[in-house]
Amino acid sequence: MKLNEYTLEELRALLRKKEIKTRDIVKDIYAAVVDDSRNAFPLNAYISFDQEKIDLEEQHLQERISNIEETLLSGVPVAIKDIINVKGTFTTCASRILKEYRSPYDATAISFLRNHGGIPAGKLNMDEFAMGSTNESSAFGAVRNPHNREKIPGGSSGGAASAVAGNCAIAALCSDTGGSIRQPASMCGVFGIKPTYGRVSRYGLVAYASSFDQIGPITKTVKDAAILLQAVSGIDERDSTSARVEVPRFEESVGKSIRGMHVGVPEEYFGQGLDDEVRAQVEKGIKVLEDGGAHVKKISLAHTKYAIASYYLIATAEASSNLARFDGIRYGTRFIKTDDINELYRENRSLGFGDEVKRRILLGTFALSSGYYDAYYLKAQKARTLIRKEFEDAFAEVELIVSPVAPSAAWDIGEMVDDPLRMYLSDVYTAPINLAGLPAASVHCGKTQEGMPVGIQLIAHHFHEDTIFRAARVVEGAAS
């Protein structure tokens, strides 16, 4: 077995014993990426992969950390979604407008990764500025699902999920705004967790919607995610939303019993629109939890019906503000030469942004415009408060809430490109969690008759990621 096929935990053990070096792992990863690129339908998971720079990273790490074997990651290479700044590398957000932008600094999550012995290794493809659920809006082309290359990997972290599932990455750091870690993890059959808002610093994460965005891992196993999340979590004075809470040893939660755990199943998440095969696999996952000793009960989350409308109004409003900086003057590519400032803005943004990004900027600008702010944006914020309160009430009764991750398994590439509303509805089960700032994960629980993976979503109370890791390992063990 080649090193790119190992888990993070297994490679860490080999590195600690000094049986291998980081460059040996990178060599096998790079060979897999190059070999895949020769495929008739390559995964297209990476935007950039500089093998020589990664070798230098290993050398600098050895010079900086004397006892690297004692660190959490011990030299394991981790691929990075191309929306997280890594000093000296291109950070394009999969957009033409940033195709030449090179990061002058490290995101805090990358600094923490390095401090714990991790090595950033390659920048992953994604939906442009993390806007999409299919990974088809990238300026670098669509990413493909390794289980069936005619199908989407999910988005916006589709490059990460595809690379990890296809053994072109050991693990990945990504971002989740409305389901962008969990949905592709589900569709590619890997594990992905969005931590509590504030658990991981957002400093250095290019903002889509600031009150939703959160960095988290996509990995081959639950244990790998626990290790990686612990490495990148912590307080950051440069991020005003960084939570002043202790970082648990998540790794120790994996494998602990769930006997006696109270699990809620919201009726609203199993209604119309849920594919029958997905429902069957998720229900099988719930039965696994029950067999593991959990007490399962039905609950109601009635305000879920307002979640998608609220999410897309607030998220696009924040995007219209955050993306105003990308004008070809201060950041990114300048496409034309002109003395007319209005023409410069218009042409740079028209040529630099893709259709989906422009659609969301227009929607957000409209929601914030005079005469519509109270009618749309303010009402969406009120609905968000109700949704958050409803989750708080539910967690007074249960420790974990379970649901589907997406209404269906991965669909064909191109199937929803011209139907954005249908694509937005694919976030119906994940967006409410971002509205409430809760931690949630997707863990593989089965496959459809077509052989496409299905994930079950595990949702916990704020800063109770350890509860998710306990339950996720039980489901993972039954599915493996």
The residues annotated with a catalytic role in the active site are: 81, 156, 180
SS3 content of the chain, % helix, strand, coil (to 5): 45, 15, 40
Nearest Cα residue to 143 out of 210, 1, 46, 20: 46
d(CA 96, CA 105) in angstroms, rounded, equals 21
d(CA 126, CA 138) in angstroms, rounded, equals 6
473 φ/ψ angles, rounded to the nearest 5 degrees: -65, -35
Nearest Cα residue to 198 out of 235, 226, 247: 235
Residue spans of beta strands (DSSP E) within 301-414? 400-404
d(CA 56, CA 30) in angstroms, rounded, equals 15
Yes or no: say if 171 and 140 are a contact pair by the CB < 8 Å rule.
no
Please report, for residues 269, 295, 296, 402, 471, the alpha-carbon distance to residue 290 in angstroms, rounded to integers and kept in the order given. 19, 6, 6, 12, 10
Yes or no: say if 119 and 56 are a contact pair by the CB < 8 Å rule.
no
The CA-based angle 129-199-471, given to 5 degrees, is 100
The tokens for 195 are: 């931590």
The 8-class DSSP code of residue 196 comes to P
Query: What angle separates helix 51-64 from helix 22-37, to the nearest 10 degrees?
Result: 160
Yes or no: say if 160 and 172 are a contact pair by the CB < 8 Å rule.
yes
Nearest Cα residue to 195 out of 245, 120, 156, 263: 245
173 three-state secondary structure:
strand
